[in-house]
Structure 1
Amino acid sequence: MIVSDFKMNVTLMLILIAFLLSSCAGGRPAEQKNAVSSATAQSSRNEKLLTVASPFEDITEYVLAGQKEKITLSLKAYGEQAPQLDSVLSRRAKEELKSLVSGIEQAQRQGHFEEIALKSVEAYRVLIESLDRGSLQAPVEVSLLDYAGFKTRALLHRKAVDWSSIQSTVNEAQQHWNAIEPRVMDKGLRDAVNTAMEGMKKASAARNTDMADFAAQVDLALVDLLEGYFRRTAK
């Protein structure tokens, strides 16, 4: 019954997303960028953090897509941009990020690509959580929904799937959505995200890898729409 309900929810999600994409597409192609590039920041601090966060999102995507040869290029891009962080990260965040990057490099040397994905998404989180929230048009919770989607996919990519961690990640995603849902006046978009959240929870409860991965990808697609929505309503 759970799987059957999930399939019904997925069908609804696809219909809603298709409608939303068609309604948002006219004259606004820039709003379909990924979460890092589209998380609009007004401060120099945020611009630096978002610039440095981008390679970690790229690394996670490369691992999931099997494009392992591109990981080195993204690590190089991070290394070139890292000096910008000295003036914008707290000491604790710097130490956590340094440890994660060291872990990524070690995992790459050892060929442990599933660990690269997990540590990269955590590095992305460290940078996103360091943003100046008052200078963002879109609330930081939108980028944290992005983090939750990528983390779920990275956890599913492991040989031994840690369903407990996936359920915790999905619960965190629900909390992030609860925090911003009252600000989303577009009923179609709001319903789509609610359906996605429900789908992620049911998929993780059923421990269905394929469905959980699909639900996480839907979450990532909706992040783009949420970014566009908040940019439009901020004008």
Structure 2
Amino acid sequence: MKKVSIVMLVFVMALSQACTEKVSKKEIVKETISEKKESAKITESDVIFENLDQALSPFEDLTEFALAKNDKGIQKSLSKIDNTAKNNVFTDHLKPESIMVLNEKIAALKKYFKKRDYAKTALTSTEIFNYNVSNFKDASKIENQIKIEHLDYLGFKILALIDQKKIDWKNIEHTTKNVEQVWKSLSTEVKDSNLKASFNLLFDGIHLSVKEKNKKMAAIFANMVLDLVDVLENTF
């Protein structure tokens, strides 16, 4: 328990330092957006980011609603997914060979929600989120953002897995190790030393929560991943 307390204390200290910069970074982003609006110039990257968001956001929202057992929110997200498909967003922006499997996954997602199996609905939705990230056509043009989305996936998947009746700790550990490699690659592009330290401690904390099979600790670290991803996005 002492080891857990020390890890948590050090982490919170590092996290607080990183988060103090969040407001200033948001202001910079707002200024950048304002400048873009004034110049009225839309770059290729802007379009690609928008395409990625359209392919991912319905599943991110649905995962959150499923974890909260919010039926209206889930139904709204499913309608958004159907509209996104009708507007050819998936066929236009995901690899052609991925569409058939994607449709099968969406069908399974609807089946789990129909049964009101919120845990499997959340897990299936977050897996589709990651599937779309991995099959995005223009991934090579926004490599850092793709890596960030995998970090987002880690946070949501841990929350979905610990919501299951029987927690698959091996799955959590396996997913964490895989995404940790993504983070190590991305971290070379991150200049903020406090942010780097915070993410490194996060992974240590997740590994420790798996080792001790501590659901509450895993939930805390998963939510911290999601919060820090927002900070990280503003550094690029």
Q: TM-score range by the shorter chain?
A: 0.7 to 0.9
In 1: Cα distance, 2:193 partner to 2:83 partner:
43
Residue in 2 aligned with 1:88?
Answer: 93
- For residues 157-191 of structure 1, give each alpha carbon's deviation from its aligned partner in whole angstroms, at most 9, with x where no partner exists: 00111111111111112111111122222111111
In 1: Cα distance, 2:203 partner to 2:69 partner:
27
Which of 127, 130, 134 is the aligned partner of 2:140?
Answer: 134
Residue in 1 aligned with 2:37?
Answer: none
CA contact (8 A) 2:58 2:78 kept: yes
In 1: Cα distance, 2:28 partner to 2:213 partner:
36
Q: Unaligned regions of 5+ residues in structure 1, if any? A: 33-39, 231-235
- Larger gyration radius, structure 1 or structure 2: 2
SS of 1:17's equivalent in the other structure is helix
Q: Percent identity?
A: 24
Indicate yes or no: 2:56 matched with 1:53: yes
Structure of greater relative contact order (alpha carbons < 8 Å, 6+ residues apart): 1
Correspondence list, 1:68-87, <5 A? 68-82=71-85, 83-87=88-92
SS of 2:53's equivalent in the other structure is helix
TM-score, length-normalised on structure 2?
0.86
Indicate yes or no: 2:195 matched with 1:218: no
- For residues 181-233 of structure 1, give each alpha carbon's deviation from its aligned partner in whole angstroms, at most 9, with x where no partner exists: 22222111111110001001111111111101111111111111111112xxx
CA 1:50–1:21 in structure 2 vs 1: closer, same or farther (change >3 Å)?
Answer: same
- Runs of 4+ with deviation above 3 angstroms: 29-32, 43-46
- AA paired with 2:155? G
In 2: Cα distance, 1:27 partner to 1:7 partner:
30
TM-score, length-normalised on structure 1?
0.86
* Deviation for aligned residue 1:116: 0.5
In 2: Cα distance, 1:27 partner to 1:198 partner:
26
SS of 2:235's equivalent in the other structure is helix
Indicate yes or no: 2:87 matched with 1:99: no
In 1: Cα distance, 2:12 partner to 2:89 partner:
40
CA 1:219–1:46 in structure 2 vs 1: closer, same or farther (change >3 Å)?
Answer: same
Q: Unaligned regions of 5+ residues in structure 2, if any? A: 31-42
* RMSD between aligned residues: 2.2
CA contact (8 A) 2:54 2:89 kept: no
Correspondence list, 1:1-235, <5 A? 3-26=1-24, 28=26, 42=45, 44-82=47-85, 83-131=88-136, 132-136=138-142, 138-230=144-236
